[in-house]
Structure formats: structure tokens, C-alpha cells
Structure 1
Amino acid sequence: MRFSVSHWLAASVFAFSLAPPVAAERLLQSHALIPCSNDGIISVNHFDIVFTPSNNSALVSFDGQANYAGNVYIDIALYVYGYKAATKNLNPCALNVDALCPLRKDTALKITNVPLNLDGVDLSIIPGIAYTMPDLDAVVRLQIINSDTGKKVTCVEAQVNNGVTVDQAGVAWSMAVLIGIGLFTSVVLSILGRGNLASHVAFRTLLFLSFMQIQAIWGLTAIKHRPLVQSWTQIWQWTMGLVGARALQTIATWFQRSTGGTPSKILAQLNEYSVIMQKRSMVARSLVARATDLTKNGGEVEVSGIERVGIRINIEPSNIFMTSYLFFYFVTVVFLLVVLALKLVLPRLKKTALREKPERTVTNTSDWKDFMRGHLYWMAALGYSQLCCLGLWELVHQDSAAEIVLAICMWLTMTAVLCWAMFKVFQRARLSRTLRQDPAYTLYSDPVCLTRWGILYVNYRARTFWFMVPMFLYTLVKGATIAFGQSSPLAQAIVLLIVEIAFLVATAAIRPFMSKTANIFAITTAAINFLNAIFFLFFTEVFGLPMLVSGVMEVIFFILNALFMLALLVYFLMVFYNVITLKEPTVKYTTLPQDRSSTVLTEDRRITELEPLEKNLAVEDGHAVSQGNEWQPASSRSASNDDITPAPHQGLTGSSQPTLPSVSTSGSDTSVPQAYTKPHSEERIV
């Protein structure tokens, strides 16, 4: 298939959106000062500094307390991606910082928006890339040293950023619109009877969306994230229902208060204390402690994992679960309303919109009931990842009793619904294997089964339809690890690594998806997730490697995932060429050994309508028997057909009846029943 101009244009826009924007003014800033020693000499409540190289000045705000007295000077070291880029010694007295000249014991140190003139300081040590590199991973470490003795007093460090980030709202909105268009197009094609084309659009849409959700899930881990990793994973948090809409925040806060909860107030008091987005290794803090407990007496607040993601989207930690919960219900309701609207509009347009005879349009009331059921299962499958992560996390966070009940009920309901759907699929497959010696017949030819539960297995080959169970368990275990592992980053990283290894081996060995291209993308996705798990294990600093190693892994993580996201975008957009031209894909499930298309019944001919006819057929003169793909009277059978012996089975009346023989399809690994044609006018199949 050729790339159209629109495909390359969309890919270019996405790549350009990832590029760092040009800042109006170069600056370096930090909003948290973190002790890097356990002596407790300096305690910090609030810290903020903004450095502008255009006028060689810095604006500093500081609120804390010192437990040391004496003359000191400051040894500054700049680390960029773990590499020690520059060092400098500063004398507080020369900079007219009275609070540090000299340092006084048990004295509150409070500096409010004090400008510092740096005309005498050589700023050439700061490389120019520091002002333009998105999500700069730079740390300034300040060693406070006694001027008289030369001994180190204490150590503090500040994470520095330049205001340039890859976390762009435009990218998130663009991808959300594309996913919405993909889902809408799949629904429309299904209604109009373009089932094969609709399945291809749905598969590529879900593949694209699932990779976004995976990126968002990596951002929810409690592991210490590097700045570029934080921002990249932050773009995709809308797939987990985390959006900073003020209306959702108002409703969530009101619901929590009305049910006896206590909302957190971190975002409302940012001018009183600092928020630290990463776990500091030397100062122990409980990662699951409530934000309200951390801020009772002011001071710095440390947030990590799910809370860190919420703060970056301007969501209070106490509103995270309800925001995701309300967003899921909102999307589900909008989706169902759109489907109902299409029910009224499309029947009037289908005669003019379709130039060819469709496979099977959704027309009567029973069809619409099955169609709505199937898409409810679809929405449950789409939202299960976010519910496993955030719904189960609510059991640990405990914002209010009512929210805990909502989380439990919602998780149990969706789990039961998906398990029931999988049970029905296995039940149909077992029946099909008993009657037809192959599960493909019922699963891929019965319109009722395909419409109701097809979303769970239609992307797989007929003989690997059961892979939906490993996929379900993979989602459940990964979500539970994110939810319950917020207090133990190392254990979380190890479990995720084991899960990703197991899923990669299963996907590569079984290759369950419907086409070669689909399997390539699925295996590549699993391999990238495995590499990501290795990266996050190193981010825990359990191996004690230099910071430079983590800095290099941070950049590799971003480049690897961004390139694959771009490849998925192009793969997703390619299918819209077929949609615009209403052209069926050239490969119709025939690249894999399982020939599923041969089982598709056209129009309204359903397997449920064929079974009574089959069970009442008797092998006698004048009745039809099969020969290849044609039907002939028994009297005209040739000797070459004598080796076809129908297998008996118990019919509806209790008598032994033969089954229709299976015909081997060329190029397939199994025998699949062919579509039937009427043998005689009096034996018409309705």
C-alpha cells in the first residue's frame, strides 16, 4: 500500500509536535531544595529560584531553618544527565545574602523574592544546550563548607529545569482526537456491514491506544523517574482518565466532602511549601502517606507515583480516583449516545453511501441489541486498565468510605462482565469444536457471537482465540502491581520485569494475532515493554551505578518509545486509505494458516439457523451430500466421494444424525466448513 500525502503530513506533524518549542526567554529554575545528607542541619519549607542569563540575575525565595552557626561558603557542582559539567565556589557575603553571612543557629531563614546580581560570576560554565534541551535532567548540588576549618557542614541539592518540555497539551489532544475518529469509524463500518474493514480499523485503533495506555502506566509507577521520562509518560495520562478539567475536580471534591472525606490542599497552597516530584534517596518519607498529613505543619511535600502524576495535571491527590471514574462514565455515555444517533442516521444514508453489496448491515431490533451489548463489552475492555490501576489504588489511598465502595463495586462488576464474556466465548468454541471439529466456525461465522463478544477475540487467529485470557491476566496483574506497589518501588520494578518477560515469551512463541503484520507489531510492543522494565529497574538505583548511566537510559527510553509511537501512528493512518475508498484490505486473514474468512456467512444466514437443518438431514436417496464445494443428490455421487463418512451425533429428536463434512481449504492448517448453497429449491436455507 502506498503512503498518501496525508499520511506523511500527519506523521510529520506528530514528529514536529514532539520537538521542543522555542522559548521566548532563556532561563533555569528550581522549585525544591532537597537535603542530600542526614545531618538535619538545614530544614526547608519552601524554595524557589529563577535564573535569567540575559541580565545575569536570579530571583530567590527561601523559607527554612538552620541548626549551625559560623562563616560558610558554598561549593556548587552542576550535574547534567549524571555528568559533572561544572563546579564553582560562591561567597554568600560577596552576594549580599545576609541570611547566610554568617549562618546563625536556630534562626529562621526566610528570603522572599530577593534578587541576586551575578555580574561578577562567570556564567560561561553553563552550556548553551542547558537552555534548550527539553526536560533538562540537571542537578545543582550545594556543599556548604565552613570557611575557617574547611570542613563540610551539610549538603543540599536542587533539580533544575529550563521550562522546555515534551509534555505538550497539543500532542495529547491530537492523539485523543485520532483515537476518537478511529473508534467512530469502526462503529460506522460495522453498522454499514463492512465487518472486515471495521475489524482492521478497530485493531489498529486499539493497538495504538493500548500502547499509549502502557506508556501512561509506566508513568504511574512509584519508581524514581528522570525528568524526560516523567514528561513523556505524562502526555498519555488522559488514556487513564486523568484530565485536569475544573468541572471534574469540583464534582470530585464535593463528593468526597459529602461522604466524609477530607480533600487535600496541595495545589491551593503552593506558595507556602514546595512539592518534590521525585523520591529522595537519603531522606525517608512514606510514599503512601496522605498528602494532608504531609502538609499539616507546612514544609516540603514529596509526591511520587500516582500522586505525582495527579499533581502535574493539577489534580489533587484526593481527587485522582474520582476524576478517572467520572471520565470513564462520561466517555461511555457519549459513546453510546453516538451509537444511538448513528442508528437513526445511517439507515437512510447506506443506500447512497455503499457502492458494493455489504457483508451484513445492522438493521432490525435484535441486531441492534447485540450491537449495543458488544460495544458495552468493548468499553469495559478499554477501561479495565485504568480501573485496575486507579480503582485498586483507591483501596490503599482511602479518600472516603463511599469512594472505596465505588472502587470495589466497579472493579468487581467489570471483572465479572469480562469473565462472563470470555466464558461464553469458550462455550461457543467448545460447541463449534464438537459439531465442526474446529472453533472457527461458530466464533467467526455466527453474527450474534461475533457482534456480542467478537471484540475479545476477533484480533486473534481462530485456534488462538483463547489468548484473550492471558491478555486479561496480564492487564490485571500489571494494574494490581501499580496499585499495591506504590510503597515499594523496587518490588514493583521486579514484578513488572517478570510480567513483561512472561508476556514477551508468550507473544513471540504463540504469535496469536490475525496477520503477520499484527504479530510483528505485537511482538515489538512486548519487546519494548521488556526493555522499559529493565530501564525502570535501573532507575531504582538498586545497582548503585553512576548517575550518568541513568541519564543515558533516560534518553534511550524516550527515543525508543517515541519512534515506535510514530511507527504505530503511520500504521494506524494507513488503514484510512481503505476507509476513504471503501476498499477491503487486500489481505483478509489469509496470511496466517487459519482461514477464517471461509466461515463467514453472508447476509442474514446464521449458524443458529443452519444447525436445526443439519441435525435433521438424513443420508438417503434424494437428499444432498457434499462433494468439494458443490452440492449434489446422493444418487449422483461418484466413487471418489465414498471416503467421506459423516460423523454421527445426537440430534434434537434423540436419533443419530450425521454432521456435514468439513472441506479442507487450500493454504489453511485446518478443515473449515464452506459457505453453503441450496441443493434443491425445496431445501432452501433461510
Structure 2
Amino acid sequence: MFSVARLRRALAPLLLLAPALVHARDKVLFTSSVTYCEPPESLLIEQFDIAYYDKNQSIVFNISAASVDPNTNVVANLFLNVYGMNPVNVSLDICSLFGGALCPLPLYTFNGADSIPLPPSVDIASHLPGIAYTIPDIEAFAQLTLTDVKSGAVKACVQTTLSNGWSTHQYGVEWATASIALLYLALAIWQSVLDGPLALAPIRLIDLLSLYQSIALSGLLGLNYPSIYRSFTLNFAWAFGLFPVTTTSPMQQSINRMRHLTGGDMNNASDSGATSFVNRKLSPYNSVNYVLPEALSTSLSSLHTDLAGFSERFASSFSSSAFSPQVLVGGDVATVTDGSSNVLQAGIPIYTNSIGIATANAFMTIFLTALIFAAIVLGALGLAYAIPFALSRTEFGRRHPAIAAFRAQYPSFARAWGIRAALVSAMPILVFTFYQWTLNDSWLSILLSVIILVALSTILLPAAFFAVRSSLPVHKWSTVEPTSAVAPFTAPYRPNRVYYVIPLLLVMSIKALVTAFGHAHGMVQVIIFVVLEFLLFLSLVILKPHRTRGADVLAGYLCLTRLVCSGLMIAFAESLAVKPIPRVAIGAICAVISGAAVVVMFFNILVNMGLWRLFVYAVTCGRRGGRRAHTALSSQPPSDPSLGEKAGDLEKRDKDNATVRTGPSQYFVSRPNNPSPPSTVPSTPLSSTSSTTLGETLPRRWSFQHSRPPSVMTDALHSPAYTHRTSTASSPISGQRHSRNISSSLPTPLEEPSHPHPPTSPHAHPLPPLPPSPQPHRAV
């Protein structure tokens, strides 16, 4: 106990440091993007970085700007929008600041970076609630408008979005979800080699990737998503074949050149990201009435603050050099207005540009990713064939016939995994192929989209037909069994429910068509999604197509997750004009529901890997009670085929291990879980002269196999009380020694031996063997 106490004293300081680690990040708000909201006339900006720290009430700035219009007297309006609310909307008299140094605006080039503590009179903290520093993907922007005092014309308008550094889009989440998928892939390959076409892990791998793709697809609709949910869906963009890139990446530059050489004229992706180009009616701007302030000079209200304390410090940061023409470029700050052609609309444009991919480059990015993926799959399949081929020519391969058996079934194995790869790629290819047809940007991109669509259909449609034809109500196909090459379609479902593949493929195609061609009608898109998911869930409840009840429950849970999230996303429709804060709350709920489904699939892989059984074994310390509990659980219907096969093997071993109690003149056979004979069996034996202790006579399908009697060298009185023996009905030895030839539908009653010991004469003939019966029987 002394060592434990010392350990507790050592850990106590670490526990005290926990709150400090949680609050180690400073409460800060900073500008995340800068754009002109009107074409600049008097003010040009190259860099505009401002951060506010709540800890010491200070502002850190790094600004590069220039005033280029002489003799300009302006008034400034500072406008702050936070989730559609306007906590700050003030006008400043520029001429009253800094002793009139800024009236008229001097021709200055301002390049400065500094940290300035705000005076007590500037109380920014009272306008900002504490949640503004912690809520992820905050939706806020500030707008500075300079208006000419005389004419009222807008001389400059600058908008900056604000951020606190927290977001639901995290690279750690991307790597975690990808790691789960890779772990599932390794388990799926291992089980498909050992367990054959009905292995469970490949089925769950498709379910996992379909869940990832459904989350990513939910962010591609033409809806006004809150920033928190849009960022969450970006964590699963890799499952759609979209990986975060920069505009200077060789792939994106090559796609840009190809498009412009083949008739493409759409804009490329911007270096500053997608936020600054988002339609101002959408999040994070939430400016429904995007109208610049009018007649600021007539409604001027001064901000009563004492700025004289640091006016000299501010003025010293200006450089008094005259204006030079080099500053007129305006840097990378873009002009984004309602009529601009570079405004990103809801749906695919905002989604792809958020990870550095231009809207017109989306399909070509998917196309190249699909080619790379196909090359990896073909290379892996070729390597998987080369290794057993090389081993089969060695002494090791000749000693292990399983290698030759794997080579024999490898064509079906390779075709099955090729179909799985096509299934994983189907949804992204369909969505962006159809969307490319709506752009009319590059004729080469359209041609390649047609080619890849035909190739995908060639792989999936014939395989789906060969899989479902035996389950269709057509007499000529009713006896045709599908091959193991189409196991991705047949393995998840019961043989008479394989046709359930048809509605699944139809739902996938309809979703792709609605996402691509209905991008301007977000409400219609989400309603169709809700109807499809409801019909799919209803079909699951009615048909119960999967092989086990657990598989039906899991599929129903995933379908219900998609249905609930699709229903909640109706609030994101622009036509409903739901307030930003309720939309954010609904977006957070959708993210939590989808994230819970990912966690459920993660625990599902742990169970399929056998870690649950290992946990049970560790908890019970390998005691017999733990094994008995596990045996009892295995007798219940399993949740997957692989566990069902193992439980069946365990039950078979328990039934075959009959406990035989030997005595002078009789054998007592104890068989666990032995069903009682039918009630129609006569209660008296056929022959009244024969006697037996084996109970009532049974129909022909209840055949008996007796355990081996004690040896002549063993005294029956001193033989052990229990003898364990495993017997199988197909064993030739057991059939020769312990079976009787049955010539009628009912077994002949057995006679007791006349002496307690079996005959020891070397001329004693063994019992005749039992001929093979076409009917099932049970072993005792």
C-alpha cells in the first residue's frame, strides 16, 4: 500500500494541471479571409490580418494597404454580423480621428505590424460572449465601408470573415476514419482468403465505405449548410476520391491546362480558399439583404472613444512615401459582389473549392483518382496471384495443398474484389460524371466522363444480373446458381432475397442524378433523399433480406441514420430562411448522429476481429464458467455467417463427444441437447422378445452409433466411470464397428449381450457396416 500511496502523490500534480491544459489555448478572434465587397477606388489592400486577444484586451495586426485617391473625405461604417445578428453597427468620423490626419485621405502606403493594447473606453469584450471563442466554425464577418462625404459614393468596401481557430474539419479525424477503413480492408482480405465468398468482413467493408460516402454526399446538395456541418462532411471527402490539395499542385495545374486547351473557360481554384467566395446569402455570411449602407453622411453617429492615447503610435506606423504605381495591383484580394462570376453557389462548388479543387476540376480529379485506384487494385491482385504461384513451385507449396486450392479459385476471388472496387467507386463517379454534363466546360472532360461511365456499367451491371437472376420469378433461371465471383452481391443476402441488390443500385443512381442535375433546387433534392431512404427502410423491415437478424438490424440502423439526417437537413433549404442559430444547432445534431454511426461501425470491426471474445476470455480468466457462457451464447443465432460457422462447429463437437458410462451389462449414453423423438413413434419395440435400454424405437432418420465397448484386457468393474469419445457418422471405422445394417424404415432393436464382457475370440466377426443413407441422421 505504501507504493500505491506514493504513486497517488506523484499523479496528484498531473491532475491539477488538467484544467490548465484544457484552457491552454488563448481566446482569440482573427480574420480568416479578406475580399472587396465593391470595386476599390480609394483603398487598395494587399494584406489584412487582424487578431483580437481577450486575455489582455489587445489587437495584433499585419496590414499592407494604400490610399490612392487624392482629396477624398470619407466616413467609415463598421458592421459586424454574427450568426445573422448585428451586435456592432457604428459609423466613424474619419476627420475627428488622429487630429484630422486622415481627412482628406493622404496618399500613404501603410505597411505595419504591431500589437496594440486597447484603452478601457473601447470595451469589445462586452459585445462578445464567451461562446464566440469556443464554438467551432463560427459564422461571423466584419465589413468596413468608406463613403464619400460629398457625393455619398462608396470609395472602398472590405469584408473579413472571423474565426476562433476551432473547426469540425480536422486532419486527425480524416486519418482516424481512413485508418479504420484500412484496418477493415486488411481484415476483409484475410477473411475472404480463409472463409471464402461468405466472409463477413468484406461485406462490412462495403457498409463502412458506403457510410463514409453518404456523409460526404450529404454535403453536396444545394442547401445553405451551417459551416459546422459543411466542415464535418469535409472529413469524409477522401472517401469520395477528393483529397485536400493546393492550387499549385501538379495535378491541378495539369487539369487546368487541359481544360483551357479543350474549350474550358471556367475559373480555377483560388489560393485564398473558398470562404471568401461563398455567396453572401449563405453561411458564414448570412447576409440575406446584401445591401451596402446608404447615405452614411446623413446618419453619422460618432464612436465616443478616446483614441488620443495611441494616435501618435498609430500614425508613426504610416510611411509617408508618395503613392507608387506598383501598389495598384491590389494583391490577392478578390472583388466579390452579387453580380460577380466568381461567387460560389451552394453544393458542389463550395464543397470542392473548400479543399482546393476548382468546380470545373472536380470530375477530372475523380477520374484521375479512379485510375490510380484501379492501378493499385490490379497491382495488388497481380501480386496476390504471383506469391502463391511462386510458392506452388517450391517444396513448401507441395507440402501445403491449400496453396494449390487457392490458385484454383483465384479467378473468382479476383473478380469478386474487382466488383467490390467498382462498387466503392460507383457513387463518386456517377455524381461527378453527371455534374460534368451540366457545366459544358471542356469537351475532353465530357468524353472521358462517358468512357468511365460505360466502363463502370460494364463491370457492375452484368455481375448484378448474374447474381440476382436465380432469385427472380423466372422459371428458366430458377435453377441457375450464381458463382462465387459475384459474391459482393450475393453474400450479404439470403438466396431468395438477392434481388434486393436491384433497389440498392436504383437508389444509388437516383441519388447521383438528383445531386448532379438538381443542384439549383435544394429543397427538392433533400425531399427526394428522404423519400428514398424511407422506402429503403420500409423494404428492409418487410423483406428482411440479409442472412442474419443482426445484419438486418445493422442495415436498418444505418438506413435510419441516413433518413433522420436527411429529414433534419430540410431546415437547410434556402427557401425556408431558417435563422442561423437553429441551423447551426441542427447541423451539430446531424454531425453527432453521423459520428455515432461511425463509432458503431468501429466497434463492429472490433467484434468481427474476435476482440470481444478475447475480452470475455480475459474477464473470466479462462475459467470453465466463462467457456460455458460462451458456449451458451454461441448456441444462439449468430450475428454474422463466420461466427455462425464457428458456433456450429463448437455445437457439433459437443454433440459428438458423447459421455459413455460402462457397466457389466449395459451402456448409458448421455448426449447433450438431444431432441426428443416424434410423438408418432410407437412406444413398444417391434419384437417382444428383445430387450434394450436405448429407449423407444425411432424412424429411419434417427440412426444410432454405439460407443466402443470396453476391451477384454480391461475389467468392467474397474473401468473408469466416464469414457469420452468423438464419433462421426461418416467414419468408416465407427460404421464398421458400431453400426448395424438397417433393412427397413425402422431400426432393429438391439439385444443385450449374454455375458458382461465382449467376445474375445479372434474369430469374432465385427458388426456389418452401415450402408450410407440418403436421409439425415444424428450421432449419439
> Which band: TM-score by shorter chain?
0.5 to 0.7
CA distance in structure 2 between the aligned counterparts of 1:503 and 1:20, rounded to whole angstroms: 44
Partner of 1:522: 555
Indicate the residue corresponding to 1:638 in structure 2: 745
Structure 1: distance between partners of 2:431 and 2:92: 49
Once residues 469 and 273 of structure 2 are traced to their aligned partners in structure 1, the CA distance between those partners, rounded to angstroms, is 60
Deviation at 1:235, TM superposition (A): 0.7
**Are 2:596 and 1:557 equivalent residues in the alignment?**
no
Cα 1:94/1:218, change in 2 over 3 Å = farther
One-letter code aligned to 2:164: N
CA distance in 1, matches of 2:563, 2:274: 41
Which residue of 349, 357, 360 maps to 1:315? Answer: 357
Q: Find the aligned partners of 1:99 and 1:33 in 2 and give their Cα distance.
A: 28
Q: Deviations over 1:233-275 (max 9, x none)?
A: 001011111124534324433543554434733325x499942
Number of the residue aligned with 1:376: 418
Which stretch shows the higher mean deviation, 414-423 or 241-250?
A: 241-250
Give the structure 2 partner of residue 133 of structure 1. 135
Counterpart residue number, 1:50? 50
Is contact 2:565–2:590 with CA below 8 Å preserved after alignment?
A: yes
Any residues of structure 2 matched to 1:51-450 within 5 Å, and which? 51-53=51-53, 55-59=58-62, 72=75, 74=77, 76-80=79-83, 84=85, 86-87=87-88, 89=90, 91=92, 93=94, 119-120=118-119, 121-125=122-126, 126-140=128-142, 159-193=161-195, 195-196=197-198, 199-244=199-244, 246-262=249-265, 264-268=267-271, 270=272, 274-276=276-278, 280=282, 281-282=288-289, 301-345=343-387, 363=405, 366-429=408-471, 442-443=481-482, 449-450=483-484
Residue matched to 1:15 = none
Q: Secondary structure at the match of 1:31?
A: strand
Q: Matched residue of 1:373: which SS? A: helix
Partners of 1:99 and 1:433 in 2: how far apart?
95
**Pairing partner for 1:469 from 502, 506, 526:** 502
- Once the two structures are superposed, the pairs formed by residues 482-501 of structure 1 within 5 Å of their partners are 482-501=515-534
Cα displacement string for residues 449-473 of structure 1 (whole angstroms, at most 9, x for unaligned residues): 12x1110131123332211111111
Residues 1:556 and 1:46: Cα distance change in structure 2 (over 3 Å): farther
How many Å apart are 1:47 and its aligned residue? Answer: 9.0
Distance in 1 separating the partners of 2:362 and 2:452: 16
For residue 164 of structure 1, give the secondary structure of its aligned residue in structure 2: coil
Cα displacement string for residues 205-260 of structure 1 (whole angstroms, at most 9, x for unaligned residues): 22221111011111222212211111100010111111245343244335435544
Opposite residue 124 of structure 1, the aligned amino acid is: A
1:301 is paired with a residue whose SS is coil
Larger displacement relative to structure 2 (571-580 or 330-339) = 571-580
How far the C-alpha of 1:313 sits from its partner, in A, is 1.5
Distance in 2 of aligned mates of 1:169 and 1:434:
54
1: CA distance between counterparts of 2:274 and 2:571? Answer: 34
Cα pair distance change 1:251/1:136, threshold 3 Å: same
Residues 300, 264 of structure 1: CA spacing in aligned structure 2 closer, same or farther, 3 A cutoff? closer
How many Å apart are 1:589 and its aligned residue? Answer: 11
Q: Bigger shift: 258-267 or 215-224?
A: 258-267
C-alpha deviation, 1:391, in angstroms: 1.3
CA distance in structure 2 between the aligned counterparts of 1:550 and 1:43, rounded to whole angstroms: 36
Once the two structures are superposed, residues 596-622 of structure 1 have per-residue CA deviations (whole angstroms, 9 ceiling, x without a partner) of: 989xxx9xxxxxxxxxxxxxxxxxxxx
**Quick one: which amino acid aligns to residue 134 of structure 2?**
T
Distance (whole Å) between structure 1 residues aligned to residue 290 and residue 521 of structure 2: 15
Change (3 A) 1:349 1:375: same
CA contact (8 A) 1:72 1:101 kept: no
Deviations 1:271-324 (A, max 9, x none): 99942266545569xxxxxxx9999x9886335322222222122333211111
Aligned to 2:609, what secondary structure does the other structure show?
A: helix
Tell me which amino acid in the other structure corresponds to 2:179.
V
- 1:539-563 Cα offsets, whole Å, 9 max, x none, are 1242333333212212212222222
Q: Give distance in 2, aligned partners of 1:293 and 1:168.
A: 29
Q: Deviations over 1:528-587 (max 9, x none)?
A: 222222232211242333333212212212222222222222222332236998x99987
CA distance in 1, matches of 2:463, 2:638: 28
Mapped to 1, the partners of 2:586 and 2:176 lie a distance apart of 28
Structure 2 unaligned blocks of 5 or more:
1-20, 283-287, 292-333, 618-629, 650-699, 704-728, 731-738, 748-770, 775-780
| Structure 2 CA distance for partners of 1:236 and 1:594, relative to 1, 3 Å | closer
Decide whether aligned partners of structure 1 residues 404 and 475 sit closer, same or farther in structure 2, where only a CA change above 3 A counts. Answer: same
- For 1:13, the equivalent position in structure 2 comes to none
Deviates more, 1:512-521 or 1:221-230: 512-521
Q: Which amino acid aligns with 1:507?
A: L
Q: Which amino acid aligns with 1:428?
A: S
Q: Distance in 2 between matches of 1:98 and 1:503?
A: 71
Once the two structures are overlaid, the 10-residue window that deviates more, 484-493 or 231-240, is: 484-493
| Native 8 Å contact 2:212 2:236 kept in 1 | yes
Contact 1:263 1:319 in 2 (8 A): no
After TM superposition, give the deviation of residue 478 of structure 1 in Å: 0.6
Distance 1:394 1:271, change over 3 A: closer
Equivalent residues, number: 566
Q: Structure 1 residues 412, 313: closer, same or farther in 2, change over 3 A? A: same
CA distance in 1, matches of 2:366, 2:67: 37
Q: Is the 8 A contact 1:274 1:299 kept in 2?
A: no
Question: Could you list the per-position Cα deviations for residues 400-444 of structure 1 after superposition, in whole angstroms to 9, with x for gaps in the alignment?
Answer: 111101112211331343221121123334599879x8x8x935x
- 2:42 touches 2:155 (CA, 8 Å); kept in 1? no
Amino acid of the residue matched to residue 212 of structure 1?
Y
1:513 aligns with 2:546: yes
Structure 1 stretch displaced more, 381-390 or 336-345: 336-345
Q: Cα RMSD over matched residues?
A: 5.5
* C-alpha distance in 2 between matches for 1:306 and 1:254: 22
Do the aligned residues in 1 keep the contact of 2:75 with 2:146 (CA within 8 Å)?
A: yes
Q: TM-score, normalised on structure 2?
A: 0.60
Cα distance change, pair 266–341 in 1 and its aligned pair in 2 (3 A): closer
Give runs of aligned pairs for residues 570-609 of structure 1, distance below 5 A.
570-577=603-610, 590=637
SS in 1 for 2:576: coil
- Judged with a 3 Å threshold, the aligned counterparts in structure 2 of structure 1 residues 484 and 24 are, in CA distance, closer, same or farther, namely same
Q: How far apart are residue 494 of structure 1 and its match?
A: 2.7
Cross-structure match for 2:5? none
Aligned 8 A contact 2:141 2:161 in 1: yes
Structure 1 gap ranges (5+): 1-18, 285-291, 444-448, 603-625, 641-676, 681-686
> How many Å separate the matches in 2 of 1:431 and 1:595?
30
- TM superposition shift of 1:387: 0.8
